[in-house]
């Protein structure tokens, strides 16, 4: 990676951003469809099948409906904060895709501190949720925002600890280098060396992306819709897309750190990466349609009493072994 | 003059801007009732209006909450959004005309209400019921109880954030509805009991269907236990949450699974036996934990006990008439007097009291809805719990709002 900023590298990043936007948009549609089909499969019903063959156009119809709807702002909501929130929720996520190595050739921006970049920009999400809840002048929204902040801040710590364990082990923050340090076979992946870190990372990622059973900021049976209670149309659509984009990022990072990235037993390439990411995404969906929601104090207890001490112990053990 | 000004200040969309003191609470704009729900001693508390349009207040219950963070300082259920004057309608309709109303008081256990009213009228008018009809009443009423518990189970899990169980519950319930449709002609708001019997006789299709359904549901229940009841998240959410001590049960007159979950073995079928329930061998499930989980376990066990009753009843179903030959015509007159009849509904003790002055229509009818008493203890029970617990407690009380409002 050349440190000087040339026209080529800027062009490369811009192209990568466009590519990422397309990737996220298409995946949003795909994942909405997949989520509903998975839910249907788990609940012994067909899921969407009216719009297009096997309901494949259902997500497109949903998207068109959301785009076509009027944007409504509650009377006493703060216009600036209210409209800033969905934008802030969605656009920083695109940046998160830049350093992710889909394959050696298919990397937006192979930066040395890729992991740091992702962790830094991922923090934007909680700001967006806070603004949405606070700005919409709704009590359910406010409660949702308060939950979102407490949850995101808490779960970022074990997430970081799990990531640090891998960074210590590999001695780098570059995502490509971390993949490079792993082999093709499953027992050569980091998950074989660091199963505890993987567990902590995945649970924390569920918490960070507000997915069930940790979907407390939008717990619909308690807070109607939590932080996005007042959003409709594309305001809601942006949050929705951001949630799926965040899921993809979390699963991608998980794949890079623990599952050997683009490497597989044969024919290394982006398909291995995508297969692993979609596998993790399906696991997340499977959790959502299986488990009840935890209570807020239990959520924080799980974090402070279990994930955090385990993360610290794991990190210490890793550092100790590395020193040997 | 003064009154109109008061009215106007209450009617403004934003009472906070009307500084004339008409409405002191600037947290909830709206009607006089909510204006009287004023903020308590803590200035930092938040008044939250939960319902009547809220995903987990099932229908149109409204709960006013005073929150300190997410802890509930005070909770107050507000009723009356679904008041349809069933008791008044009973005064202007003949008993036969009033029967369809009974399917609409508690739409989930409609046949128990059918039975309570029919029983009260039969007691007052001295109408006899053939034995076969008694058995058919037991079978259909217990099938209806299972369908009510299954729906509660699914909806409760939905409240707790698990989306899938309700689909499985509806899958089983669908078979029950098909069976009950054969007997009653309807799928939800049944009104098939008649003074002196039941409307239709059980055909071979119904008997066969019930015989097939019993092993089917029995094979499903272990799966529900393994997948849902033993789930650690569920247990943590509802164990030791919503503790209702025995004295609270007696003070509020709670009944049904709410009382039995608190260790009070009161079941009308056993305590004040009616019909042919004394001929069957079944247990009254009782738990002593007093928490939401206890009520959950009681209902799950009741499904099994209802299956036992149905199994015995369908095997010993006597031959004969389904309507007594001397059953009165729909236009019969009630003799003067009073009568009271209680049955065990899915939510507790259903009581119907009829006073008649010998006219075409009853003079007064009182419907005792178990849900009303069960909900009444919510305000005391929810104090000091978390908002998420309030949802878990409300769900564990198994409310049907039309029954509570009547």
Q: In a 10 Å sphere around its CB, with 0-12 CB exposed, 13-18 middle and 19+ buried, how is residue A158 labelled? A: buried
Nearest CA in chain B to A141: B48
pLDDT of residue B79: 82
CB nearest to B161's CB, from A139, A140, A221: A221
Tokens of A217: 């900021």
> Are B94 and B131 in a shared domain?
yes
- Angstrom distance (rounded) from CA A227 to CA A152: 14
A293:B236 CB<8 A: no
Contact list, A140 vs chain B (CB under 8 Å): 48
Phi, psi (5° rounding) for residue B33? -60, -50
> Are B256 and B361 in a shared domain?
yes
B164 at the A interface (CB within 8 A)?
yes
pLDDT of residue B215: 93
> Are B38 and B172 in a shared domain?
no
Contact list, A301 vs chain B (CB under 8 Å): none
CA distance to partner chain A, nearest, from residue B236 (Å): 8
pLDDT in tens, B44-76: 788 888 877 787 777 788 888 888 888 888 888
For the cut 90, the answer to whether the pLDDT of residue B310 exceeds it is yes
Contact list, A141 vs chain B (CB under 8 Å): none
- Angstrom distance (rounded) from CA A314 to CA A271: 31
CB nearest to A289's CB, from B164, B233, B386: B164
pLDDT of residue B332: 83
Counting every residue, how long is chain B?
406
A143 at the B interface (CB within 8 A)?
yes
CB pairs under 8 A between A and B: 75
CB nearest to A290's CB, from B164, B171, B388: B164
Please report which confidence band the pLDDT of residue A267 belongs to, taking 50, 70 and 90 as the band edges: confident
Q: Please compute the mean of the pLDDT values over residues B276-303 and round it to a whole number.
A: 91
For the cut 90, the answer to whether the pLDDT of residue B140 exceeds it is yes
pLDDT of residue B2: 40
B158 at the A interface (CB within 8 A)?
yes
B162:A292 CB<8 A: yes
CB nearest to B167's CB, from A43, A140, A291: A43
A44:B234 CB<8 A: no
Distance in Å from the first CA to the final CA of chain B: 37
A2 assigned to some structural domain: no
Nearest CA in chain A to B52: A224
> DSSP letters of A36-97?
HHHHHHHTTS--S-SSSGGGTTHHHHHHHHHHHSPP---TTS-HHHHHHHHHHHHHHHHHHT
A32 assigned to some structural domain: yes
pLDDT of residue B334: 87
For the cut 80, the answer to whether the pLDDT of residue B251 exceeds it is yes
pLDDT of residue B309: 93
CB nearest to B55's CB, from A42, A143, A224: A224
CB nearest to B56's CB, from A42, A222, A295: A222
For the cut 80, the answer to whether the pLDDT of residue A313 exceeds it is yes
Contact list, A292 vs chain B (CB under 8 Å): 157, 160-162, 231, 233-234, 237
**Cβ neighbours for B123, distance < 8 A, ≥ 6 positions apart:** B339, B340, B341
For the cut 80, the answer to whether the pLDDT of residue A295 exceeds it is yes
Contact list, B70 vs chain A (CB under 8 Å): 143, 296
Domain that holds residue B71: 2-78
CA distance to partner chain A, nearest, from residue B120 (Å): 39
Contact list, A35 vs chain B (CB under 8 Å): none
A134 assigned to some structural domain: yes
CA distance to partner chain B, nearest, from residue A133 (Å): 15
CA distance to partner chain B, nearest, from residue A288 (Å): 8
pLDDT of residue B352: 93
DSSP state of B254: -
pLDDT of residue B340: 93
With tokens 């407490």, the residue in question is A150
A292:B56 CB<8 A: no
B162:A222 CB<8 A: no
- Angstrom distance (rounded) from CA A223 to CA A220: 5
CATH value at residue B181? 1.10.645.10
Q: In a 10 Å sphere around its CB, with 0-12 CB exposed, 13-18 middle and 19+ buried, how is residue A11 labelled? A: exposed
pLDDT of residue B5: 38
Cα–Cα nearest to A76, from B92, B307, B26, B137: B26
For the cut 70, the answer to whether the pLDDT of residue B132 exceeds it is yes
- Give me the residues of A, 194-213, that contact B with CB < 8 A: 212-213
Q: Cα torsion for B109, B113, B119, B125, to the nearest 10°?
A: -150
Contact list, B157 vs chain A (CB under 8 Å): 292
> How far apart, in Å, are the Cα atoms of A290 and each of A39, A281, B110, B134?
9, 14, 32, 42
Partner residues linked to B364 by β-bridges: B355
Nearest CA in chain A to B69: A143
Contact list, B239 vs chain A (CB under 8 Å): none
Contact list, B387 vs chain A (CB under 8 Å): 143, 222-223
pLDDT of residue B23: 43
**Exposed e or buried b per residue across A81-111, where buried means at least 16 C-beta atoms within 10 angstroms of its C-beta:** bbbbbbebbbbbbbbbbbbbbbbbeebbbbb
Please report which confidence band the pLDDT of residue A12 belongs to, taking 50, 70 and 90 as the band edges: confident
Please report which confidence band the pLDDT of residue B37 belongs to, taking 50, 70 and 90 as the band edges: low
Share of chain A above pLDDT 70, in %: 98
CB nearest to A139's CB, from B48, B171, B231: B48
A24 assigned to some structural domain: yes
pLDDT in tens, B214-226: 999 999 999 898 8
- Give me the residues of A, 21-80, that contact B with CB < 8 A: 39, 42-45
Please report which confidence band the pLDDT of residue A4 belongs to, taking 50, 70 and 90 as the band edges: low
A44:B171 CB<8 A: yes
- Domain boundary among the residues B52, B78, B104 is at B78
Cα–Cα nearest to B63, from B402, B392, B389, B379: B379
- Angstrom distance (rounded) from CA B351 to CA B341: 6
- Catalogue the E-assigned strands of A127-245: none
Partner residues linked to B337 by β-bridges: B356
B265 alpha-carbon distance from chain centroid: 18
CA distance to partner chain A, nearest, from residue B306 (Å): 26
- Angstrom distance (rounded) from CA A138 to CA A315: 41
Instruction: Report the mean per-residue pLDDT for chain A.
Output: 85
CA distance to partner chain A, nearest, from residue B388 (Å): 6
Nearest CA in chain B to A219: B161
Q: How many separate domains does chain A show?
A: 1
> How far apart, in Å, are the Cα atoms of B8 and each of B13, B15, B17, B18?
10, 10, 13, 10
Q: Please compute the mean of the pLDDT values over residues B241-249 and round it to a whole number.
A: 90
Contact list, A290 vs chain B (CB under 8 Å): 162, 164
pLDDT of residue B138: 92
For the cut 50, the answer to whether the pLDDT of residue B94 exceeds it is yes
pLDDT in tens, A273-283: 889 999 999 99
- Give me the residues of B, 225-244, that contact A with CB < 8 A: 231, 233-234, 236-237
- Domain boundary among the residues B30, B53, B78 is at B78
Tokens of B347: 């939510």
Instruction: Report the mean per-residue pLDDT for chain B.
Output: 84
Q: Please compute the mean of the pLDDT values over residues B28-50 and round it to a whole number.
A: 67
Does this model's pTM top 0.95? My answer is no
Tokens of A308: 């955090």
CB nearest to A222's CB, from B164, B233, B387: B387
A145 at the B interface (CB within 8 A)?
no
B161 at the A interface (CB within 8 A)?
yes
Please report which confidence band the pLDDT of residue A171 belongs to, taking 50, 70 and 90 as the band edges: confident
pLDDT in tens, B368-386: 999 899 988 898 888 888 8
Q: Per mean pLDDT, which range of A163-167, A260-264, B181-185, B399-403 is the poorest?
A: A260-264
pLDDT in tens, A124-161: 888 888 888 888 888 888 888 888 888 888 888 899 89
- Domain boundary among the residues B45, B78, B111 is at B78
A1 assigned to some structural domain: no
Q: Per mean pLDDT, which range of A211-220, A236-245, A289-298, B156-165 is the poorest?
A: A211-220
- Give me the residues of A, 251-310, that contact B with CB < 8 A: 288-298
pLDDT of residue B350: 92
Helix (H) or strand (E) holding B94: none
**How many CA atoms are closer than 13 Å to the CA of B56, on its beta-carbon side?**
27
- Angstrom distance (rounded) from CA B2 to CA B124: 53
pLDDT of residue B9: 38
**Cβ neighbours for A264, distance < 8 A, ≥ 6 positions apart:** A184, A272, A275
**Residue A202: Cβ within 10 Å count:** 21
Share of chain B above pLDDT 70, in %: 90
CA distance to partner chain A, nearest, from residue B130 (Å): 43
CB nearest to A292's CB, from B48, B160, B167: B160
**Exposed e or buried b per residue across B309-348, where buried means at least 16 C-beta atoms within 10 angstroms of its C-beta:** bbbbbbeebeeeebbbeebbeeebebeeeebbbbbbbbbb
Return the HEC string of A161-178: HHHHHHHHHHCCCCHHHH
Q: In a 10 Å sphere around its CB, with 0-12 CB exposed, 13-18 middle and 19+ buried, how is residue B13 labelled? A: exposed
Tokens of B255: 């009944």
> Are B210 and B172 in a shared domain?
yes
A195 assigned to some structural domain: yes
**Exposed e or buried b per residue across B256-290, where buried means at least 16 C-beta atoms within 10 angstroms of its C-beta:** bbbbbbbebebbbbeeeebbbbeebebebbbbebb
pLDDT of residue A90: 86
CA distance to partner chain B, nearest, from residue A290 (Å): 6
Share of chain B above pLDDT 90, in %: 31
pLDDT in tens, B324-359: 888 788 788 888 889 999 999 899 999 999 999 888
B215-218 CB contacts, 8 Å cutoff, 24+ apart: B216/B172, B216/B175, B217/B146, B217/B172, B217/B303, B217/B307, B218/B304, B218/B307
Edge to edge, what strands does the sheet with B71-78 contain? Answer: B46-50, B62-68, B71-78
pLDDT of residue B11: 38
**Residue A175: Cβ within 10 Å count:** 25
Q: Please compute the mean of the pLDDT values over residues A40-46 and round it to a whole number.
A: 88
**How many CA atoms are closer than 13 Å to the CA of A91, on its beta-carbon side?**
6
Contact list, A45 vs chain B (CB under 8 Å): 167
Domain that holds residue A228: 7-323
B304-309 CB contacts, 8 Å cutoff, 24+ apart: B304/B218, B304/B221, B306/B142, B306/B143, B306/B145, B306/B146, B306/B149, B307/B146, B307/B214, B307/B217, B307/B218, B308/B280, B308/B281, B308/B282, B309/B138, B309/B142, B309/B277, B309/B280, B309/B282
pLDDT of residue B30: 53
Q: Please compute the mean of the pLDDT values over residues A98-114 and round it to a whole number.
A: 79
């Amino acid at each position: 990676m050349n440190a000087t900023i040339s026209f080529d590298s800027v062009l490369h990043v811009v192209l990568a951003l466009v590519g990422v936007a397309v990737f996220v948009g298409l995946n949003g549609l795909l994942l909405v469809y997949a989520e509903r089909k998975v839910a249907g499969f788990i609940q012994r019903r067909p899921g969407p099948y009216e719009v297009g063959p096997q309901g494949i156009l259902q997500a497109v119809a949903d998207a068109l409906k959301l785009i076509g709807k009027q944007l409504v702002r509650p009377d006493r909501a703060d216009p600036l904060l209210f409209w800033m929130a969905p934008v802030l929720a969605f656009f920083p996520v695109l940046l998160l895709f830049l350093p992710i190595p889909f394959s050696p050739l298919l990397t937006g921006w192979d930066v040395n501190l890729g992991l740091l970049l992702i962790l830094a920009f991922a923090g934007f999400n909680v700001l967006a949720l806070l603004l949405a809840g606070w700005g919409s002048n709704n009590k359910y929204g406010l409660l949702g925002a308060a939950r979102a902040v407490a949850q995101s801040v808490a779960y970022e710590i074990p997430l970081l600890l799990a990531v640090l364990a891998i960074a210590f082990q590999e001695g780098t923050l570059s995502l490509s280098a971390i993949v490079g340090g792993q082999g093709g076979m499953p027992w050569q992946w980091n998950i074989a060396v660091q199963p505890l870190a993987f567990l902590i990372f995945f649970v924390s990622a569920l918490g960070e992306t507000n997915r069930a059973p940790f979907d407390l900021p939008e717990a619909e049976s308690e807070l109607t819709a939590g932080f996005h209670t007042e959003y409709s149309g594309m305001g809601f659509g942006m949050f929705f897309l951001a949630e799926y984009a965040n899921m993809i990022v979390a699963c991608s990072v998980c794949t890079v750190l623990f599952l050997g990235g683009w490497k597989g037993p044969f024919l290394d390439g982006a398909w291995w990466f995508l297969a692993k990411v979609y596998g993790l995404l399906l696991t997340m969906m499977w959790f959502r349609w299986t488990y009840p929601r935890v209570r807020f104090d239990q959520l924080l207890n799980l974090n402070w009493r279990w994930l955090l001490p385990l993360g610290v112990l794991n990190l210490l053990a890793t550092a100790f072994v590395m020193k040997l | 003059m003064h009154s109109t000004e008061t009215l106007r200040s209450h009617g403004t969309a934003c009472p906070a801007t009307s500084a004339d003191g008409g409405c002191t609470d600037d947290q909830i704009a709206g009607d006089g009732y909510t204006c009287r729900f004023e903020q308590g001693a803590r200035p930092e508390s938040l008044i939250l209006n939960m319902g009547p349009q809220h995903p987990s207040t099932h229908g149109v219950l409204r709960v006013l909450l005073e929150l300190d963070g997410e802890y509930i300082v005070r909770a107050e259920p507000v009723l009356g959004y679904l008041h349809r004057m069933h008791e008044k309608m009973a005064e202007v309709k003949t008993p036969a005309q009033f029967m369809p109303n009974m399917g609409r008081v508690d739409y989930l256990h409609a046949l128990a209400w059918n039975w309570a009213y029919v029983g009260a009228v039969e007691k007052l008018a001295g109408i006899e019921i053939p034995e076969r009809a008694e058995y058919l009443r037991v079978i259909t009423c217990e099938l209806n109880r299972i369908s009510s518990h299954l729906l509660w189970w699914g909806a409760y899990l939905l409240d707790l954030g698990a989306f899938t169980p309700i689909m499985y519950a509806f899958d089983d319930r669908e078979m029950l509805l098909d069976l009950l449709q054969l007997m009653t002609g309807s799928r939800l708001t049944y009104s098939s009991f008649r003074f002196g019997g039941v409307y239709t006789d059980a055909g071979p299709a119904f008997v066969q269907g019930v015989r097939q359904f019993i092993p089917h549901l029995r094979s499903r229940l272990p799966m529900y236990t393994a997948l849902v009841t033993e789930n650690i998240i569920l247990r943590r959410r509802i164990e030791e949450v919503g503790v209702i001590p025995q004295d609270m049960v007696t003070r509020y007159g709670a009944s049904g699974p709410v009382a039995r979950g608190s260790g009070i073995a009161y079941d009308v079928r056993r305590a004040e036996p009616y019909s042919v329930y004394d001929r069957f061998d079944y247990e009254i499930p009782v738990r002593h934990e007093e928490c939401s989980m206890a009520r959950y376990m009681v209902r799950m066990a009741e499904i099994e006990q209802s299956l036992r009753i149905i199994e015995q009843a369908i095997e010993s179903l006597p031959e004969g008439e389904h309507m007594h030959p001397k059953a009165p015509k729909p236009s019969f007159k009630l003799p003067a007097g009073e009568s009271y009849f209680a049955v065990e509904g899915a939510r507790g003790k259903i009581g119907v009291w009829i006073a008649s002055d010998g006219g075409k229509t009853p003079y007064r009818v009182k419907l005792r809805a178990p849900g009303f008493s069960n909900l009444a203890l919510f305000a005391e029970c929810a104090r000091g719990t978390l908002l998420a617990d309030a949802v878990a407690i409300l769900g564990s009380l198994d409310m049907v709002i039309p029954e509570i409002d009547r």
